Amino acid sequence: MDYAYGLTEEMVRDISAKKNEPEWMLHKRLEAFSQYAQTPLPKFGPSLAGLDLQNIVYFKDPSVAETDSWDEVPADIKQVYFDLGIPQAEHEYLGGVGAQYDSGMVYHRIKDSLAKQGVIFENMDVAVQKYPELVQKYFMNECVPASDHKFTMLHGAVWSGGTFIYVPKGVQVSMPLQAYFRMNAPSSGQFEHTLIIADEGSQISYIEGCSAPKYTSSSLHAGCVEVFVHKGAKAQYSSIENWSKNTYNLNTKKALVYENGKVEWLSGNMGSCVTMLYPSSILLERGATSEALGIVLAGEGQIQDVGAKVVHLAPQTHSIIRSKSISQSDGTAIYRGFVHIAQNAEHSTSHIECDGILLGSTSASFTIPVTKQSNSTSQITHEASTGKLDPQAIAYLLSRGYDTNQATRILVGGFVGDIFQKLPLEYAIELNKLIDLEIQGF
Amino acid sequence: MSTQYGLQVTSTYTAKEYSQVVIVVKAGEKREIDRAGAKGLLAIQVQAGAELVYTEYVQEAGLYHTYIYIEGENSTVSIVSKVMLSTGMADISHKVFHSNKETVSHIQTRGVVSDNAEVIYTSEIRAEKNHTDIQGTEKADFLVKDNARVSGIPALSISTDNVVCSHSLSIVPMSMEKIAYLHTKGYNRNEAEQILTDSFLDI
């Protein structure tokens, strides 16, 4: 089932009815739609003038039933995922895989050994039906309420598909779980919802990949990620977003971290025409920690407005933000960060590093780190640098027989290398290849 | 009298003029300007080959915004700002706009904020398109005590590739280890804090 362009209350009701959702979810959707209709676009950040919200198809069903066997996925859709190497990765090193095509999940599977330990890895639509109590408790309430901003309101109204993960107390998932989101239709929107609950003492690593082919009209991605890290748990969320260069990527990611819990955000952003994405951590209880590492590449015509936010609300909470950006051609990379150490967050620390490289005379880099320190026993440190590649280093590599292009790629590889080390090996290789492809011919 | 940036232009500065003026540092000139405790917005235009050293010492609540427009090539600007605040709120801003090639700016800010005082500190080094060989550094360090609060936004806005720009910001408590060390040398708590404050602000 597809819808016409634009969004109406009737469409929202239809989406909910098609998914056979309980009344409370329909109510949530309608409330979000009502807020969305009354809320203007954000007043900060890059221009969204090219985004015609009336010219987006908000729901596009792949018309395929979800399966746990690649053999049952239609050949044309299956080929997309084989080209992306997803089934091979699943076989070699993943604990589970989900694949979403436009608005619907087409494949979902978790290793039996994890399922036996009580780990839930489901399509979000299915989770609403199978685990209503868990979903109702956590979905768009405390972590990312729909009222957060214009695009969480939109997301709350039209969300479809995505991933639900629950890791029971004390269970440590050693193999990463992965979901891959593909937006294939022109002028479409993708609004997948990811909800991760790491119960006390558990551990989970989750990876998302995103892509879309390029059409002449703009597309919109307004996903939402909610992560709950309970006492002593650890959750690592990695994403490589390589949307087509006419996609507006207005994504929201937030984690609530409880006593001695730890959340890690690893992000690689290189596609889309405009990205606005600031993974956020709210450190609610003593000893909670957050680490956000990001790599962004802004190429021709791109504005990558990314960063991270951390709010320290309890004593002895700690955060680290490290961001690396590469701007080439007329691309613009913006680091927009926010760290607040609240009055009762005694003996807390936050360290922020953001470095930018400019590869073109018309490229641009902006650093806007907002820091707010309200407890005099705590400390915030921040450092940033922006500049071109070191001419002496390039000269040295030229003297070793490399050409300028090779030397540039080697130095860019070194610039982002320390963040690659945090990624699972296969993803570090993929991200490295993507960056290499983007700066080829520089 | 002419105006620029919406402000009145002057080539001299006294604390009495304290606000809403533009001081012009003429081509080739070497100038030292001390804000002398004056509050308000102060704008300075720096012409080709000029060297400016700007200093301020903020000890009272109020607004202290300084915008420096480097419009001539081959010119240098240095900002040295000290802050010692124990009551009220100070809104301090340093912005340097590099609008020509081969220009250099250094911003150094140190502050000790205590009791119930609050400091809002913003800074920006902006390098405009098509200007090359620009260097800009900004470094801001604050010591906080008691119930003091500091908010900071040290921004870099770079629209050209031939630049070397950096900034750093730290907001940290006064070191208890250093105070303890000074206790062992016979200083009481107040004396130890005063020694550490004086040495911290000695830039």
Both tokens assigned to A71: 């053999």
The residue ranking higher by pLDDT, A78 or B56, is B56
Residue among B159, B166, B171 whose CB faces A373 most closely = B171
A278 and A306 Cβ atoms separated by less than 8 Å: yes
> A358 CA to chain B: closest CA distance, Å?
5
Strand, helix or coil for residue A395: helix
- What backbone phi and psi angles, to 5 degrees, belong to A191? -135, 55
Mean pLDDT of B52-70: 95
Residue B120, CA distances (Å) to A167, A232, B36, B153, B172 in order: 43, 36, 20, 8, 15
pLDDT tens profile B102-145? 999 999 999 999 999 999 999 999 998 888 899 999 999 999 99
Please give the DSSP secondary-structure letter assigned to residue A273: S
Q: Is B159 on the interface with A (CB under 8 A)?
A: yes
pLDDT per residue of chain A (442 residues) written in tens, 0 to 9:
556 677 999 999 999 999 999 999 999 999 999 999 999 998 889 999 889 898 888 887 766 666 777 777 667 666 766 776 767 766 666 677 777 776 677 777 777 888 899 999 998 999 999 999 999 999 999 999 999 999 999 999 999 989 999 999 999 998 888 888 777 666 678 899 999 999 999 999 998 886 666 556 678 999 999 999 999 999 999 988 888 888 899 999 999 999 999 999 999 888 889 999 999 999 999 999 999 999 999 999 999 999 999 999 999 999 999 999 999 989 999 999 999 999 999 999 999 999 999 998 889 999 999 999 999 999 999 999 999 998 899 999 999 999 988 899 889 888 888 777 777 766 777 777 777 777 765 5
Reported ipTM: the value is 0.85
pLDDT recorded at residue A214: 59
CA–CA dist A192, A163 (Å, integer): 8
- What backbone phi and psi angles, to 5 degrees, belong to B77? -130, 135
Q: Is A220 left (phi over 0), alpha (psi -120 to 50) or beta?
A: beta
Residue among B148, B158, B170 whose CB faces A364 most closely = B158
Q: Is B120 on the interface with A (CB under 8 A)?
A: no
pLDDT recorded at residue A361: 86
CA–CA dist B69, B95 (Å, integer): 8
Please give the DSSP secondary-structure letter assigned to residue B137: E
Both tokens assigned to B64: 């202290």
pLDDT recorded at residue A416: 85
Which residues of chain B are within 8 Å of residue A359 when distances are taken between CB atoms?
161
pLDDT recorded at residue A285: 98
CA–CA dist A32, A153 (Å, integer): 5
Contact A386 B166 (CB under 8 A): yes
CA–CA dist A314, A286 (Å, integer): 5
pLDDT recorded at residue B138: 95
Strands (E), A393-436: none
Q: Is A376 on the interface with B (CB under 8 A)?
A: yes
CA–CA dist B145, B162 (Å, integer): 41
CA–CA dist A50, A283 (Å, integer): 36
Strand, helix or coil for residue A405: helix
- List B58's β-bridge partners, or say none: B83
Contact B169 A379 (CB under 8 A): no
Q: Is B15 on the interface with A (CB under 8 A)?
A: no
pLDDT recorded at residue A2: 58
Contact B170 A366 (CB under 8 A): no
Closest-CA residue in chain A for B175?
Answer: A377
Torsion of CA A335, A340, A345, A346, to 10 degrees: 70
CA–CA dist A202, A434 (Å, integer): 32
Please give the DSSP secondary-structure letter assigned to residue A368: E
- The secondary structure element, H or E, covering residue A304 is strand A303-306
CB within 8 Å of B50: residues ≥ 6 apart: B25, B26, B27, B28, B29, B30, B31, B72, B75, B76
pLDDT tens profile B162-186? 899 999 999 999 888 899 999 999 9
Specify the pTM: 0.90
CA–CA dist A219, A183 (Å, integer): 9
Kindly tell me if the per-residue pLDDT of B17 is higher than 60.
no
CA–CA dist B80, B68 (Å, integer): 13
Residue among A359, A374, A379 whose CB faces B161 most closely = A359
Q: Is B179 on the interface with A (CB under 8 A)?
A: no
pLDDT recorded at residue A321: 97
